[in-house]
């Protein structure tokens, strides 16, 4: 009989994985990029140029540029972050990562212990919520409106925690094109956030991976750039602008934190070829590539919005997002998004149910997140039509699709 490892797995470990099966035909999950948006020839040329010039560096775990990652890529980031996010930093303030998820793990590993408290937006990236939960951390989720996290709620929450002698370890915020609400924290609120953070002695953890994807290319300055107190951690990624499978992200932090992160990055360095290729590619093409990607995403969003309007009518409520790759949709109150997810899956449509993307399971019960970057325009149209049919069969809504009155099962 095959050896069973289950009895050796420590209590509290994550549930075992199920074997991978290909996703449904209509996949609105996972935050993947657009396969047609990749400039494969330029990427290939960049890899080739980097390899023929500097391929010998791959003989060293750290590419001969130390534990913080390939220096030319960090130098590109210094210029990019200055131009786009108003950040003044040097290559020594940047640590290259195996995806920004590694940054979440490193910061959490450096700062959190069981029983700690963190503050974040009420609806929040699943990967962040799961990481906090796994570490046994208390999560305080704050409401957002179109201008991002509500500062009166933050102030109340900080005051209430202080009254209980609780000092949160940090305020985690996806301030610029939030996941899943796609809201952007206004400049005024960024100022208030920093004021409150300073007043209560709580650092801010800014996860900025969608910030390049606003439709008009405009964004408020990063929170990191606005702080004079070195109390902000800035996290970024190449996943959403170039390609997630490269697994390259980065963190910008003061030495006081960086010196705590480095000992925890025990993988002896992130993938070298990816970093070398990105440095080569980004220096020449990043500034031109991103605007065309934004146009692609926006066109897909418009297809999604048209499909939802046609198939769901007023049964699907949402704010038109200012950028990003997903739409946060409110369905009628009787729709249970978890049940809808399961039923849709059987019909080949994959969606993210709200409760998995929110700290507040009741608030998010009838909400779903739809990613639109990866499916084609046809898949978006067809997938939303199938989703509407499934939703009608399960919950009786939407009553009309494509301006035709329908009955469940009809």
Ligand X SMILES: Cc1ncc(COP(=O)(O)O)c(C=O)c1O
Q: Which residues are near ligand X by CB under 6 A? A: 31, 99-101, 125, 127, 174, 179, 207, 209, 237, 239, 244, 249
326-330 β-sheet, strand order: 326-330, 367-371, 352-353
Looking at the DSSP bridge assignments, the partners of residue 148 are 145
Looking at the DSSP bridge assignments, the partners of residue 27 are 350
Q: At what angle do helices 377-395 and 272-312 cross, to 10 degrees?
A: 50
Q: How many residues make up the chain in this entry? A: 410
Query: Shortest Cβ distance from residue 101 to ligand X (Å)?
Result: 4
Query: Shortest Cβ distance from residue 207 to ligand X (Å)?
Result: 5
Query: Shortest Cβ distance from residue 144 to ligand X (Å)?
Result: 14
CB atoms within 10 A of CB 146: 11
Q: At what angle do helices 187-200 and 151-163 cross, to 10 degrees?
A: 10
Distance separating alpha carbons of residues 289 and 159, to the nearest angstrom: 45
Of 237 and 374, the one with the shorter C-beta distance to ligand X is 237
Query: Shortest Cβ distance from residue 244 to ligand X (Å)?
Result: 5
Residue nearest to ligand X (CB): 99
Query: Shortest Cβ distance from residue 169 to ligand X (Å)?
Result: 18
Of 24 and 99, the one with the shorter C-beta distance to ligand X is 99
What is the radius of gyration, based on Cα positions, of the chain? Answer: 22
Query: Shortest Cβ distance from residue 174 to ligand X (Å)?
Result: 5
Q: How far is CA 227 from the centre of its chain?
A: 23
Q: Where are the beta strands (DSSP E) in 132-177?
A: 138-142, 144-145, 148-149, 171-173
CB 279 within 8 A of CB 50: yes
CB 17 within 8 A of CB 357: no
Query: Shortest Cβ distance from residue 210 to ligand X (Å)?
Result: 7
Query: Shortest Cβ distance from residue 1 to ligand X (Å)?
Result: 38
Query: Shortest Cβ distance from residue 290 to ligand X (Å)?
Result: 16
Of 87 and 388, the one with the shorter C-beta distance to ligand X is 87
Query: Shortest Cβ distance from residue 352 to ligand X (Å)?
Result: 11
CB 330 within 8 A of CB 363: no
Tokens of 181: 């609400």
Distance separating alpha carbons of residues 199 and 197, to the nearest angstrom: 6
CB 323 within 8 A of CB 214: yes
CB 120 within 8 A of CB 142: yes
Tokens of 303: 């297809």
**CA-wise closest residue to 178 among 155, 158, 207:** 207
Of 99 and 271, the one with the shorter C-beta distance to ligand X is 99
CB 340 within 8 A of CB 390: yes
């Amino acid at each position: 009989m095959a050896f069973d490892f289950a009895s050796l797995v420590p209590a509290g470990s994550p549930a075992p994985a199920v074997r991978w099966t290909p996703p449904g035909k209509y996949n609105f999950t996972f935050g993947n990029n657009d396969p047609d948006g990749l400039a494969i020839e330029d990427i290939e040329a960049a890899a080739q140029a980097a390899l023929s010039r500097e391929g010998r560096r791959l003989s060293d775990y750290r590419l001969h540029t130390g534990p913080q990652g390939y220096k030319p890529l960090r130098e590109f980031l210094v210029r990019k972050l200055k131009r786009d996010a108003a950040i003044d930093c040097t290559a020594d303030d940047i640590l290259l990562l195996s995806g920004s998820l590694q940054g979440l793990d490193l910061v959490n590993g450096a700062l959190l212990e069981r029983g700690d408290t963190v503050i974040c937006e009420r609806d929040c990236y699943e990967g962040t919520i799961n990481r906090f939960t796994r570490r046994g951390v208390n999560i305080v989720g704050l409401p957002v409106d179109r201008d991002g996290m509500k500062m009166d709620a933050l102030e109340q929450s900080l005051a209430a925690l202080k009254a209980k002698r609780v000092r949160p370890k940090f305020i985690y915020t996806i301030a610029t094109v939030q996941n899943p609400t796609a809201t952007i924290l206004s400049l005024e609120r960024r100022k208030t956030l920093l004021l409150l953070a300073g007043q209560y002695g709580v650092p801010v953890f800014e996860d900025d991976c969608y910030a390049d994807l606003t439709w008009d290319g405009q964004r408020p300055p990063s929170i990191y750039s606005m702080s004079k107190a070195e109390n902000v951690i800035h996290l970024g990624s190449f996943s959403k602008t170039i390609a997630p499978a490269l697994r390259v992200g980065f963190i910008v932090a003061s030495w006081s934190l960086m010196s705590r992160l480095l000992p925890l990055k025990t993988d002896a360095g992130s993938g070298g070829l990816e970093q070398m290729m990105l440095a080569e590619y980004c220096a020449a093409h990043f500034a031109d590539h991103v605007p065309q990607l934004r146009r692609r995403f926006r066109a897909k969003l418009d297809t999604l919005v048209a499909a939802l309007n046609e198939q769901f009518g007023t049964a699907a409520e949402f704010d038109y997002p200012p950028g990003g790759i997903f739409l946060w949709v409110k369905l009628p109150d009787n729709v249970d998004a978890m049940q809808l997810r399961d039923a849709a899956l059987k019909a080949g449509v994959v969606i993210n149910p709200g409760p998995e993307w929110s700290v507040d399971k009741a608030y998010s019960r009838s909400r779903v997140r739809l990613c639109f970057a990866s499916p084609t325009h046809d898949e978006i149209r067809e997938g939303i039509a199938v989703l509407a049919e499934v939703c009608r069969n399960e919950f009786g809504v939407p009553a009309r699709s494509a301006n035709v009155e329908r009955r469940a099962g009809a």
